[in-house]
Amino acid sequence: MNSEKKTSGAVTRRSFLRKGAVAGGVAATGALAAPAVLAQSPIAVRMQTSWPASDIWQEFAQNYANSVQEMSGGRLEIDVLPAGAVVGAFQVLDGVNDGLIDIGHDVPVYWYGKNKAASLFGTGPVFGGSATTMLAWFYNGGGQELYNELTQEIMGLDVIGLYGFPMPAQPFGWFKNEVNSVEDISGLKYRTVGLAADLLQSMGMSVAQLPGGEIVPAMERGVIDAFEFNNPTSDMRFGAQDVASNYYLSSYHQASEAFEFLFNRSFFEDLDPDLQAILRYAVPASATLDHASALDNYSADLQTLINEGGVTVHRTSDDILAAQLDAWDQLIPELEADEYMKRVLDSQRAWVERVTFYELMNSPNYELAYQHYFPGKLSL
């Protein structure tokens, strides 16, 4: 798609308002037709993601745009662009803040380099809550207020952020050889992002933080020995199975992340209230549809990797999982030395302690039922 603003058949809200005085003068003379036509022209909106054009998450972003356009009756016309079209994959926050793009679709850990607290909103310590649990924390447990404090007050950004699709726990990732213990991963050059980099560095790995589109080339050049990105579909689409054959699912390094929708605040607040509402409430609505699509695609593509890609799928060993929890225990006090980060972690702990108690107590043993009806399937 074209990364330039559309100028034919669409106007930006801001350009429309700048012309308001002229239009008002025409209306005063009785010539009402031109302003009426102008007011009905669609508002051109530029939205960029942090994902390659081929990634399933780019499709998720396009689905959000399509639903917004339909609900707005065509008054909002969103051009969805992949990573690099206007700014780099890790610079989406900057692009939205500077008004180069109106909406961004990314994850907060991608701007971890600007403020370490960003990682607490998706890739921080796991206290036992799932990604769905933590999405609920954002909307009902005080998370959104803490996020606004970070972005708007501490960092002084001209952005509004909302959370969408809660991602399933991310795989430990792709390895050329089997890794069953902490000793097996020690010294490996490994790609991850955010606080997970600090975590795994403390466990003896040498960590590089790379955008998704750079992972396979880095693996081919020997810059990294192993990596994680996010899920079977994204991993398969960029060719993870071509550079490694051991795929480890389940990990505590990034157990509860969610999509971040970033809106330039000036752009957003300049819109009519009904258009603001459409943009806002389409975000949590997209979480349900993205989750359904993810379960469908991720599960199907995992089978493709197993049956056609020559990939051996493992669950990460209890030895490595226990070591990850121990490493979080060592890292948390360092994070809590920052007053703001301690308040975020305290809020998350209190939420997980109460909510996950209910979730775990209320949930039957689904594995027992699965093994009953599909015996032997889990013994890969």
pLDDT in tens, 352-365: 999 999 999 999 99
d(CA 105, CA 96): 10
pLDDT at 173: 96
Full domain range(s) for residue 61: 13-115+155-167+257-292
Establish if 2 belongs to a structural domain.
Answer: no
d(CA 243, CA 227): 10
> Which own/partner pairs from 354-359 qualify as long-range (CB within 8 Å, at least 24 positions apart)?
355/129, 355/133, 355/136, 355/137, 355/141, 356/127, 356/128, 356/129, 356/130, 356/133, 359/130, 359/133
Same-domain check for residues 278 and 327: no
Find the range with the poorest average confidence among 149-158, 235-244, 272-281, 349-358: 235-244
- Please give the share of the chain, as a percent, with pLDDT higher than 70: 89
pLDDT digits (tens, 9 = 90+) for 205-261: 999 988 888 899 999 999 999 999 899 999 999 899 999 999 999 999 999 999 999
Which H/E stretch holds residue 318?
helix 318-336
Same-domain check for residues 92 and 206: no
What is the pLDDT averaged over residues 165-179? 95
Same-domain check for residues 198 and 264: no
Residue 67 · residue 285 · CB < 8 Å: yes
Task: Provide, for the chain, the percentages of residues in helix, strand and coil under a 3-state DSSP scheme, each rounded to the nearest 5.
Answer: 55, 15, 35
Same-domain check for residues 331 and 234: yes
Residue 21's CATH number: 3.40.190.170
pLDDT at 39: 54
Does 263 have pLDDT greater than 90?
yes
Establish if 345 belongs to a structural domain.
Answer: no
pLDDT digits (tens, 9 = 90+) for 336-350: 999 999 999 999 999
Establish if 265 belongs to a structural domain.
Answer: yes
CA 152 to chain centre: 19
Same-domain check for residues 67 and 102: yes
Establish if 46 belongs to a structural domain.
Answer: yes
Same-domain check for residues 248 and 282: no
Same-domain check for residues 242 and 286: no
Residue 181 · residue 317 · CB < 8 Å: yes
